[in-house]
Amino acid sequence: MKILITGSSGNIGSKLVKLLADRFEFTGLDRLPPRSGPQIPTVITEAHEVEDLRPALAGKDGVIHLAGNPAVDTPWPNVLRNNIVLTRNLFESCRLEKVPRVVFASSNHAVGLFENDEPYSRIRAGDYAGLDPSTLKRIDHTAPLRPDSDYGVSKAFGEGIGRSYSERFGLQVACLRIGTFSEKDDPTANVRMRATWCSHRDLAQLVSLCLTCPDLRFEIFYGVSGNTWRFWDISHAAAVLGYSPMDNAERYY
């Protein structure tokens, strides 16, 4: 499969290219040339217009859309330009170029306000007293959107436009609400990661399954490893994709 990966030189993009290079033929799209990591043919563009994206998408079997500002506290003007407008341009370009499948890097921040509720607020803080992870009600793909920031709103927008393009134009869309993906692939930087960590190889597995799953229409999955204290549900990804996480943050504690 010929796959375009936007934001290809970023933290997640560069790791996916390295881990999945034997399964997919990648080209990249980014605003800056790659500085390190795997070298793939890369289109350099700000992608402010649909026509900036179309040449890179021509003839592709799918796209992994990672490009945008990744920080939760990104100022609104940057969120609007780089996360919302860019994402709309990406979907429209896929429609025009007849790219059949989009894996959209959504975020746990699209439902981030659930973490203000118990027991998730306690788990986030590392207070497990009296809690049993085996009976924990986890947040699943049917939960209402509760974005916790302008950044979270932009990811909710991406999911919304993905559903729209799926139902109106037949695009196959998988939205991955990615948890905490760390540069060093280590969940011990803070206690919240004990619940939210997604290892490099688990995210690579999810992305690969999203690209190759037959009969996909529109789906939402949580990009999180099989952490004992996770508060997001992965049973839907297991049922639809066959996702079987290889890692658990608890092994590091």
Is residue 222 part of the annotated active site? The answer reads no
Domain that holds residue 121: 2-252
Tens-place pLDDT, residues 78-124: 999 999 999 999 999 999 999 999 999 999 999 999 999 999 999 99
Residues above pLDDT 90, as percent of the chain? 94
What confidence score (pLDDT) does residue 39 get? 81
Cα distances from 83 to residues 26, 172, 184, 190, 218, in angstroms, run 22, 20, 25, 27, 20
Going by C-beta distance under 8 Å and a sequence separation of 6 or more, which residues neighbour residue 214?
Answer: none
**What is the pLDDT averaged over residues 176-190?**
96
What confidence score (pLDDT) does residue 117 get? 98
Tens-place pLDDT, residues 22-36: 999 999 999 887 776
Tens-place pLDDT, residues 37-61: 668 999 998 888 999 999 999 999 9
What confidence score (pLDDT) does residue 105 get? 98
What confidence score (pLDDT) does residue 46 get? 85
What confidence score (pLDDT) does residue 36 get? 65
Task: Catalytic residue, from 120, 128, 151, 253: name it.
Answer: 151
Sole residue written with tokens 């993906």: 181
Distance CA 121, CA 186 (A): 22
Q: Per-residue confidence at 157, pLDDT binned at 50, 70, 90? A: very high
| Mean of the per-residue pLDDT values of the chain | 96
What confidence score (pLDDT) does residue 33 get? 77
Sole residue written with tokens 């881990």: 19
Number of structural domains in the chain = 1
**What is the pLDDT averaged over residues 231-252?**
98
Q: For residue 119, is the peptide bond before it cis, meaning its omega torsion is within 30 degrees of 0?
A: yes
Say if residues 115 and 230 touch (Cβ distance below 8 Å). no
Q: Per-residue confidence at 133, pLDDT binned at 50, 70, 90? A: very high
What confidence score (pLDDT) does residue 37 get? 63
What confidence score (pLDDT) does residue 48 get? 85
Distance CA 203, CA 181 (A): 8
Domain CATH for 232? 3.40.50.720
Look at residue 235 and tell me whether its pLDDT is greater than 80: yes
Say if residues 44 and 31 touch (Cβ distance below 8 Å). yes
Say if residues 69 and 82 touch (Cβ distance below 8 Å). yes
Tens-place pLDDT, residues 87-96: 999 999 999 9
Sole residue written with tokens 């540069």: 183
